[in-house]
Amino acid sequence: MHVPDGFINAPVSAAAGVLAAGAVAVSLRGARRELGQGPGGDRTAPLAGLVAAFIFAVQMLNFPVAAGTSGHLLGGALAAILVGPWTGVLCIAVVLLMQGVLFADGGLTALGVNITVMGVVTVVTAYALFRGLVLLLPRTRRSVAVASFAAALVSVPAAAAAFTLIYAIGGTTDVPVTQVLTAMVGVHVLIGIGEAAITMLTVGAVLAVRPDLVYAARGLTAPLKLRIGGELVDAHPAAPAPAASPGKPRKLWIGGLVTALVLAGFVSFYASASPDGLEKVAADQGIDKNVQEHAAADSPLADYGVKGIELPRVAVGLAGAIGVGATLAVGSGLFWLVRRRTTVAPEA
């Protein structure tokens, strides 16, 4: 759903840029609590940069959703559930920045639109729905998986609706808004199913090995119940086993990085070549008439390849690996600075 330059006029693109910058600034403040010295902060910080790199990798894997249409992970729900909503917005912002600057994916003047739609809207929608569901469902890991699926599913058409709203305000073509809304939401509901499956499987995998690292699921485990005199009562909590004590998630971090590199460096070559949901709708409805060439179209990594390398498989794989590395470096550096500032700054 990367919006290119030319879909939205300059004033609205600028306004979206201001809105996105404000969201990032607020998220930087909120991320200090998620990455700081509070409960679990020492475990969230090392994971945040990896989450950004993993989302970058999975976004390269377009999957078919309908005849001639593909979709890819947006990642807002996954980031919010794993590392928290504030840090989640920053993760998506880093991914979109890397994609726009290095790979000419998503317009540079439309960066604010993309962060607002793919970052802020997906994170807010998914996290709010997730928290509401886990309050209603039994406090179990299965409930976390179900809530993850539903939150991710809803977040994608919500982003499509947000794009349509921005288009209604500042679109550069005269296509009826109802037409755009129907087409966008329709195809992105299908994409949302893929997003939901990826999010649920990823959250479930982390829950299986390190449940303490899933930010949104902390404290959700129900206490052990004993039946005494025909009534269920809470059992006395047992002391945690040494093996279950929280620690630096080194094994998970290494496994996640290897997975991201394999996905971006190898599996991405086999991704669907069909246009994604926004591209397909734009072509079918005619909202791409004023699309502009990307300012970084001559980048050595434009379109997820490496100029000068004639073997497509090698070019795509190398570009993917470079993207994972760059996103990991920038994301980890940002989150390290946020955590360091939190650690050294005096309490207000």
| 176 DSSP 8-state letter | -
CB 77 within 8 A of CB 89: no
Q: What single letter denotes the amino acid at residue 171?
A: G
What is the reported pLDDT for 46?
Answer: 75
Position with higher pLDDT, 247 vs 149 = 149
What whole-number percentage of the chain has pLDDT above 90? 75
Both tokens assigned to 21: 């910058």
| Burial degree of 149 (CB within 10 A; 0-12, 13-18, 19+) | buried
Q: Which amino acid is at 104?
A: A
Angstrom distance (rounded) from CA 173 to CA 304: 29
Mean pLDDT of 245-263: 83
Q: Rounded to whole angstroms, how far apart are CA atoms 117 and 314?
A: 32
User: Rounded mean pLDDT of 320-340?
Assistant: 93
The CA distance from 75 to 61, in Å, is 12
If you average pLDDT over residues 197-206, what whole number do you get? 95
Q: What is the pTM of this model?
A: 0.90
One-character DSSP codes across 289-300: TT----TTTT-T
Lowest mean pLDDT among 138-142, 189-193, 229-233: 229-233
CATH code of 10-218+250-344, in short, is 1.10.1760.20
pLDDT at 37: 52
Nearest-CA neighbor of 40 among 249, 185, 237?
249
Confidence of residue 233 (pLDDT cuts 50, 70, 90): low
Q: Considering only 205-209, 214-218, 327-331, which range has the smallest mean pLDDT?
A: 214-218
Give the 3-state secondary structure of residue 70: strand
CA 259, 262, 268, 271 dihedral sign is negative
Tokens 């700054």 correspond to 345
pLDDT beyond 90 at 176? yes
Residue-averaged pLDDT of the chain: 89
SS3 for 335? Answer: helix
pLDDT band of residue 8 (cuts 50, 70, 90) is very high
- Residue 58's region, left for phi above 0, alpha for psi from -120 to 50, else beta, is alpha
- Over residues 101-148, the pLDDT tens digits come to 999 999 999 999 999 999 999 999 999 999 999 999 988 888 999 999
Q: Residue 213: what pLDDT?
A: 85
Residue 216's pLDDT band, with cuts at 50, 70 and 90, is confident
Distance of CA 332 to the CA centre of its chain: 15
CA–CA separation, 86 and 98 (whole Å): 19
Q: Rounded to whole angstroms, how far apart are CA atoms 170 and 160?
A: 15
The answer to whether residues 264 and 57 touch, using CB atoms and an 8 Å cutoff, is yes
